[in-house]
A and B are shown apart, each in its own frame.
Chain A
Amino acid sequence: MTLRQRIVPYLLLLPALVLLLVFNLLPTIATLVESTFVISLRSGERVFAGFANFERIFNDPIFWKSLQVTVVFSLVVNPLQIALSLGLSMLMNQRLPGIGIFRSIYLLPVAVSLNVTAIVWRLLLDKNTGMVNGILHQLGIERQPFLHSPEQALWSIILIASWIGVPLWSLFILAGLQNIPPPVLEAAKIDGANAWQSFTRVTLPLLRRVLAFVLVADTVANFLLFAPILLTTQGGPQLSTNLILYETYRRGFLYGDLGASAAMLSVMLLFVFVIVGVELYVLRGSD
């Protein structure tokens, strides 16, 4: 190989790498560094503080409460979205009359921006004038406070996130389903497999890589949910929807405590690494 041939690939990679280094990797490292600094009250200067910020957040009940909300949210929203996406994708992948129209409408929310979604659902869930309460009222059920109640707000957020999330992940699962050659499923049917058997023994194993991708991407996306919180509840009522990324925003931007905010982000980064590590492990297993 000539020198030129050896250099060409790096030249092709260079623009992307420079951009990522300057605007992605360096700022991420800066966040990690920032987590070890505090602003001195006496001089107003940034001083190195070791793990003081981490100690501070680990002793802070609001941080733990926020983590707890995030865990509860994740444990509900991820299985819910994935189960619904999978089931509905399989339904949408069948040859039924009018399925093309159903599929187009079902996937429509993917094209709607998150802030429009959040604003529209805030109106729909309004206690007095919202559509949802209008329907409940028609059915003889009492009007619900939804986003204004500490008990119901998180569930309302789950509803809003899933309105986009379920069709979004369905896109990927539908693409995966289209890659399963129909003869494979027909062969299973001829061999006497019932619908459940052909689902668990043929479809699921063939979808494993797609599902692993969707599982991890969905988990990370929901772990880092932010805009709908900012636009609807702002973490309230009573911090019941104070998901972890919103808490870092509250701490850093609203209270100006950048050290604690960076410490929380560093902890979250660790979580993301663990999730991606699991993804790599699962993907490797299926190759």
Chain B
Amino acid sequence: MTAVGRVSLRENILQRGRNRERGRLLVFNHTVLLLMTAFAIAPLLVLAFNSFKSNSEIGSNPLGPPGSLILDNYERAWDQGNFAITMRNSVIYVVVTIAAELVLGGLAAYALARKRPPGSDLLMLYFLVASTIPVWMYIVPLFVQFRTLKLLGTMHGLIIIYVAGNAPLTIFLLRSYMIDLPRELEDAARVDGANEFQVLTRIVLPLTKPGFLTVGLVVGLGVWNEFTLALTFIHDPNFAPVTTSFFKFTDRFARDWALTSAGAVIIIFPVMVLFLALQRQFIEGLAEGGIKT
């Protein structure tokens, strides 16, 4: 009884001290948080503001919110940037790359996580090293190869580069999700007469969905934002993604900031909405699989 009383008194004194400390800490924390979020969002806000102004208004008021909303910039940017076509192209690049990547990577990761054929360790080492080597390391030979294989300037050619470039990291991450799955579930399904394909599609895939979502988002963000490869391998504007068409667009309208800002917002907006919507699952997915403490 007395012991309990003493503990709660001590707790009480400690608690009061902690509350004061916590109050000071809260102010400090929020100051840092405000500064950092300002640093993150200020450039985006200025961009959004300027996309609604005329160029003369940007001249007199380069930072603040627009006096009135001018939607004209968006209309012009959409036409001049050829966004109707390039936006469609980018969606194709992203969707097809993610689909191919997840099928290819999923099969390979399953083999490595579950079957462990001889040579698995060597393959993992290769994937790890390869995942750090960017395409720029071998772009010239790749270019020559693409000319020989008649893949140069084609959409499926560029998709092949994206799938191959992302494959090592995809396999690496997906494998670490699958290796954690309890084997008993798969064995139980086999006892019930499921074949290998059914085990993969009915048991393993549904359980590793968060992993596939996270990897899909990593790959998708990368492909949507990719720029240098598309610039090198695609020359026909009808096959170009939004990033290269935006690059050429800013070259042509270097002085027209209202137009450039509207173009940038058109590119950023869709991914930003998607990223905000999926952020929580994304971090949880990373925490569950690839990133182990």
* A interface with B by C-beta (< 8 Å): 6, 8-10, 12-13, 15-17, 19-20, 22-28, 30-31, 34, 88, 91-92, 94, 96, 99, 102-116, 119-121, 123-124, 129-131, 134, 163, 167, 171-172, 174-176, 178-180, 206-210, 213, 216-217, 220, 224, 226-227, 230-231, 245, 248-249, 252, 258, 261-262, 265, 268-269, 272-273, 275-276, 279-280
Q: Tell me if B104 and A15 are in contact (CB < 8 A).
A: yes
Which of B41, B107, B130, B274 has a CB less than 8 Å from the CB of A24? Answer: B130
Query: Given that A24-B164, A105-B40 are known contacts, is A30 also in contact with B128, CB under 8 Å in the complex?
Result: no
Q: Which residue of B lies closest to A103 (CB)?
A: B279
Which of A31, A119, A209 has a CB less than 8 Å from the CB of B260? Answer: A119
Q: Write the nearest CB–CB distance from B41 to chain A, whole angstroms.
A: 5
Place the interface of chain B in its size category.
35 or more
Q: Kindly list chain B residues whose C-beta atoms are within 8 Å of the C-beta of A262.
A: 140
Report which residue of B44, B108, B134, B291 has the largest number of chain A beta carbons within 10 angstroms of its beta carbon.
Answer: B291
Which of B27-35, B79-87, B179-187 is near enough to bind chain A?
Answer: B27-35
Q: Tell me if A175 and B115 are in contact (CB < 8 A).
A: no
Q: Kindly list chain B residues whose C-beta atoms are within 8 Å of the C-beta of A30.
A: 138, 141, 144-145
Q: Tell me if A115 and B243 are in contact (CB < 8 A).
A: yes
A226 to B231, CA, bound (A): 13
Which of B68-76, B91-99, B263-271 is near enough to bind chain A?
Answer: B263-271
* B interface with A by C-beta (< 8 Å): 26, 29-30, 32-33, 36-37, 39-44, 46-47, 59, 62-63, 104-105, 107-108, 110-112, 115-117, 123, 125, 128-130, 132-134, 136-142, 144-145, 160-161, 163-165, 167-168, 171, 196, 221, 224-225, 227-228, 243, 246-247, 250, 257, 260, 264, 267-268, 271-272, 274-276, 279, 282-284, 286-287, 291-293
Q: Tell me if A275 and B264 are in contact (CB < 8 A).
A: no
A276 to B227, CA, bound (A): 26
Q: Tell me if B62 and A134 are in contact (CB < 8 A).
A: yes
The dominant DSSP class at the A interface is helix
Q: Tell me if B164 and A23 are in contact (CB < 8 A).
A: yes
Report which residue of B129, B141, B279 has the largest number of chain A beta carbons within 10 angstroms of its beta carbon.
Answer: B141
Q: Tell me if B111 and A12 are in contact (CB < 8 A).
A: yes
Counting from the closest, the 6 A-B pairs by CB-CB distance are A30-B141, A113-B225, A9-B115, A175-B286, A27-B138, A12-B111
A-B residue pairs in contact (CB < 8 Å), sample of 7: A12-B115, A19-B104, A111-B276, A120-B44, A179-B293, A276-B129, A276-B132
Q: Which residue of A lies closest to B26 (CB)?
A: A96
Which of B128, B144, B224 has a CB less than 8 Å from the CB of A276? Answer: B128
Q: Tell me if B141 and A110 are in contact (CB < 8 A).
A: no
Q: Tell me if A13 and B123 are in contact (CB < 8 A).
A: yes
Q: Tell me if A178 and B167 are in contact (CB < 8 A).
A: no
Q: Write the nearest CB–CB distance from A23 to chain B, whole angstroms.
A: 4
Q: Which residue of A lies closest to B285 (CB)?
A: A175
Q: Write the nearest CB–CB distance from B230 to chain A, whole angstroms.
A: 10
Given contacts A24-B164, A174-B283, 15 further A-B contacts (CB under 8 A): A9-B116, A16-B105, A23-B145, A28-B137, A30-B144, A105-B37, A108-B44, A109-B40, A112-B225, A113-B227, A114-B227, A115-B243, A129-B62, A216-B132, A224-B134
